[in-house]
Amino acid sequence: MNIKIPIYWKNPYLTSIETKILSINGNEIILEDDIFYPESGGQESDIGFLIVGNEKKAKIIHVFKKGEKSALKAEIYGELKKGEMVIAKIDSERRNSLMRAHTAQHLLSAFLSKEGIETVHAEIHPDEFIVEADKKISLEVLTNVIDKSNNAIFRGVKVHSRYFTPEELEKQKLSTRKPLKKAGNIIRVIDIENIDQTFCGGTHVDSLSKIGLLLPLSYGKKFIHISTGKKSLKIISKENSKKINLARELTTSPEQVFETLDLLYQKTKAEISSKDRVFIEFLKQIMSKKEIFTQKIHSYDVLVLPELPFNKKQLNKVIRLLKEKGIQNYILISMDGYMNIDFSSNKSYYLAEKLFDVLSSRFECKGGGKKGKYTLKLSHKIRYREMIEIIQEL
């Protein structure tokens, strides 16, 4: 085989090389040696610099395919000429993170394929990738394929790049995950030993152990978003510190944090729905014009709710309904933990106004209102009995 294999295929760990400028056209540069990976097959391109002596002469911001070559889109700082020797240096950190993500994607797609789910599209970004599948993925399958992938990573399975001419490929009868889309002069197969063989033009790690850890970031019906390498490590480390802090806050152990949160969540959910039930019950009572007021003070019907069974929106609905039903001369007091008081009265608003004056002069409080609807937050607790006495004194 005498076709030139680009450096990014032959040695993806080589991140710097001295080479010649083949052509320079505006801000587009083509080098003799293709060390820069051009964006293709869902994988982002490399970025980097062209250096002469110790001086950065150009910043490479994007790379794309031009025939068989890599064309560099550059921000040129100094003079660069055709035929000049430069050090082409790629961002190695980014290259490695793209390699980790790409091989990890093959690995995951291979295990998905064994479950009968094929990858229709993949996007490779630094230390993360997105797989779009041809059918729905269940959480169970996702967990299973992630576990299998991570186990293969721990075993340090080797990864090889193989090259074929179309004729050679014909003879080989390879069993690949996907059929060949279009054959060029040279066909490349990425082989994860005993796990996966697939046609690919991307950059890859030489051992699965270099991927680090596959961590699902999100998943929908047909897509999975995964992180690898340093990104996974960062996420786990950050989340673990949060978990430890939260455990302290909840006075539980880090292992029990999620169970504790789940219990709290279930409890809150139950409380909310029981509040809703009280509200609906209350509305029904008003609708059927049943006696809802507990006592009469002066000529007013008075209802003091010792707890706040409604939220603001529900309370407003109650008040509207009372008005619709022609219930007048009432005072409705809703107390939350004795300190937050919502009250309203209809007709002349007289009683509510008076109650507001008394409460705000007698207690330290915040709040206000108008037209017979008030909200007060007292700085100390006031009990149900005390409230009734205050109303009787009005």
Residues lying near Zn ion in the complex (CB under 5 A): 200, 202
Nearer of residues 169 and 200 to Zn ion, judged by Cβ: 200
| Amino acid identity at 359 | L
Reduced to 3 states (helix: H, G, I; strand: E, B; else coil), residue 53 is coil
DSSP annotation of 186 reads S
| Amino acid identity at 295 | Q
- Least distance (Å) from Zn ion to the CB of residue 25? 30
- Least distance (Å) from Zn ion to the CB of residue 95? 15
Q: Supply 179's token pair.
A: 């059929």
Nearer of residues 132 and 336 to Zn ion, judged by Cβ: 132
- Least distance (Å) from Zn ion to the CB of residue 227? 18
Nearer of residues 178 and 317 to Zn ion, judged by Cβ: 178
Nearer of residues 200 and 304 to Zn ion, judged by Cβ: 200
- Least distance (Å) from Zn ion to the CB of residue 129? 10
Cα–Cα nearest to 287, from 324, 232, 260, 239? 324
Nearer of residues 180 and 235 to Zn ion, judged by Cβ: 180
User: What separation in angstroms does the CA of 40 have from each of 11, 64, 123?
Assistant: 18, 8, 10
DSSP annotation of 129 reads E
Query: What one-character-per-residue DSSP string does 220-280 give?
Result: -SSEEEEE-HHHHHHHHHHHHHHHHHHHHHTTS-GGGHHHHHHHHHHHHHHHHHHHHHHHH
Cα–Cα nearest to 382, from 374, 373, 391, 369? 391
Helix axes 350-362, 384-393, angle to 10 degrees: 120
- Least distance (Å) from Zn ion to the CB of residue 116? 20
| Amino acid identity at 276 | D
The residue nearest Zn ion at its CB is 200
d(CA 94, CA 44): 10
Nearer of residues 200 and 331 to Zn ion, judged by Cβ: 200
- Least distance (Å) from Zn ion to the CB of residue 202? 4
Neighbouring-strand partners of residue 210: none
Nearer of residues 159 and 200 to Zn ion, judged by Cβ: 200
DSSP annotation of 33 reads S
- Least distance (Å) from Zn ion to the CB of residue 71? 21
The helix or strand, by DSSP H or E, that contains position 76, with its residue range, turns out to be strand 69-76
- Least distance (Å) from Zn ion to the CB of residue 276? 52
Q: For 24, phi and psi rounded to 5 degrees?
A: -140, 125
Nearer of residues 169 and 378 to Zn ion, judged by Cβ: 169
- Least distance (Å) from Zn ion to the CB of residue 102? 6
- Least distance (Å) from Zn ion to the CB of residue 41? 6
User: Is residue 223 a contact partner of residue 131, using CB atoms and an 8 Å limit?
Assistant: yes
Nearer of residues 200 and 224 to Zn ion, judged by Cβ: 200
d(CA 123, CA 42): 5
Nearer of residues 58 and 110 to Zn ion, judged by Cβ: 110
HEC string of 290-334 equals CCCCCEEECCEEEEEECCCCCCHHHHHHHHHHHHHCCCCCEEEEE
| Lookup result for tokens 């007292």 | 378
Reduced to 3 states (helix: H, G, I; strand: E, B; else coil), residue 364 is coil
